[in-house]
Each structure stands twice: as C-alpha cells, then as structure tokens.
Amino acid sequence: MAKELTKQAIADAFIRLLNQYPLEKITVKNIVETCGINRNTFYYHYQDIYALLEDIFEREAEKAIAISGNYENWQEGFVESAHFALENKRAIYHIYNSINRDQLERYLFRVTEHMIVDFVRQQATGLTVAEEDIRYIALFYKHALVGIVLEWVQDGMKIEPEPAIARLGQIFNGNIRSTLERIAK
C-alpha cells in the first residue's frame, strides 16, 4: 500500500510539473523536490522519467478501460476516458510536443480501441458478423477518433471537446450498424 501511495505521489508531482514545464525541462531533481522524497526513492520505483511517464499512461489507460463499458454510447465513454487529458491539457500538450509523443499516441489508441471494439460489438447484436470484421470496423473508427484528438492537441486544444465529440457522434450515428448490416452473413 505504501509503495502505491509513493508511486502516486511521484506521479502527481510529475503531472503538476508537466502542467508548468515542457517534458525536456523536468528533471528527477525537480520531481523529488516537488514530491518531498529522495532520489533513491524515485529510482526504487522508476528507472527514469520516461518509465514514470509510461507508468502514468498505463494507469490512466487501465482506469479508462475499466469504466468504458458503463456508458450508453461511445461518446460518453470517450469523454470520460479523456478525463485525464482534459484535466491536464497543458501536460498533454507538453508531451505531444516532446520526443515521447509516441507514449501519448499509444495511450490514445489503447483506450480508444477498447471502447470502440466494445461499441461495435454492441452494434452487431443480432447480426452474424465475423470477429475480424468487427475489429476492422473498430480499427477504422479508432484511427479516425485518435487522429481527430491528435489534431485537437496540435491546434492547442482551444475548443471544448464535448461539443466536437457530440458532433462526431451525430456523424457516426447509424453508420456502424449500417455497415455491420451490409456485411452480415
């Protein structure tokens, strides 16, 4: 339990710093001073800052995946899954503009894939559709959604995401079911 609390304290300190400074400007010294621990404690839990960043994204992805099935539509789940990003816009922007952008992209793809596959399966209820086709349709929508999110981040996250996600929902509404009906056996 103490180990998890320490890891959470380190992660919280790092995220606070990321909301203020670009990733490349943050050092282990900054993190341990912000967190109130010593360097050895940091290195007991993490090899370096990049391992910490990976752990944060892994934890956030697990949280998002755990709650993704509790919503009536993918839009609600997507907004809730993006909660971390919405609360830490500046940190996400700093990560996006760093050499570790790939970790952000992997996080987005992982969370979105789980949510969209579940939604496509739900839409396939009552139809005989191959799992391969379900995954292929989900792949298309996953890349569309992540691409839009990455463009939003690139543009500085100026617009509120909820209206944009609602608009996407209107565009996607019925398209997945219609596609599944066309390919059903």
Q: Where are the domains of the chain?
A: 2-183
Write out the H or E segment, with its range, that includes residue 140.
helix 131-154
Give the fold, CATH level 3, of 2-183. Tetracycline Repressor; domain 2 (1.10.357)
Tell me which residue of 117, 115, 136 sits closest to 179, measured CA to CA.
136
What are 100-150's pLDDT values in tens digits? 889 889 988 988 888 888 889 989 999 999 999 999 999 999 999 899 889
Question: Structure pTM?
Answer: 0.82
Instruction: Check the CA dihedral 60-66-70-72 and report its sign.
Output: positive
